[in-house]
Structure 1
Amino acid sequence: MRIAEILTAAGLCLSLAASDAVAQGGLAGLQGAWLSGSEDCAEIFATGGKGPSFKKPVDIFAPAFIVAGNRLRTPQASCRIKAVKPDGDRQRLALDCANAVAGSQVGVLLSVQSDGSLRRYFNAHDTTGTQYKQCSR
Structure 2
Amino acid sequence: MTRAGFVGAAGLALVLVASAVEADLADYQGAWLLSGRDCAEVYASAGRGSAFKKPLDIFAPAFVISGKQLRTPMASCRIRSIRPLADRQRLLLDCANGVAANEVTVLIAAAPNGALRRYYGEQDPTGVDYQRCAR
TM, length-normalised to structure 2: 0.81
What is the deviation of 1:113?
Answer: 1.1
Letter in 1 for 2:130: Y
1:51 maps to which of 45, 49, 54: 49
Cα pair 2:30 2:66 within 8 Å, conserved: yes
Higher relative contact order (CA 8 A, sep 6+): 1
Establish whether residue 85 from structure 1 lines up as the match of residue 77 from structure 2: no
Identity of aligned residues (%): 54
Count, aligned residues:
115
Aligned to 1:9: none
Per-residue CA deviation, residues 53-111 of structure 1 (Å, 9 max, x unaligned), is 00000100000000111000000000000111000111100000000010000000112
Per-residue CA deviation, residues 11-44 of structure 1 (Å, 9 max, x unaligned), is xxxxxxxxxxx9xx61111111000042210110
Q: Could you say what secondary structure the match of 2:41 adopts? A: helix
Aligned to 2:62: 64
**Distance change (3 Å), C-alpha of 1:112 and 1:37:** closer
Greater Rg, structure 1 or structure 2? 2
Cα pair 2:42 2:60 within 8 Å, conserved: yes
Which 4+ stretches in 1 moved above 3 angstroms? none
**1 CA distance for matches of 2:113 and 2:126?**
16
TM, length-normalised to structure 1: 0.79
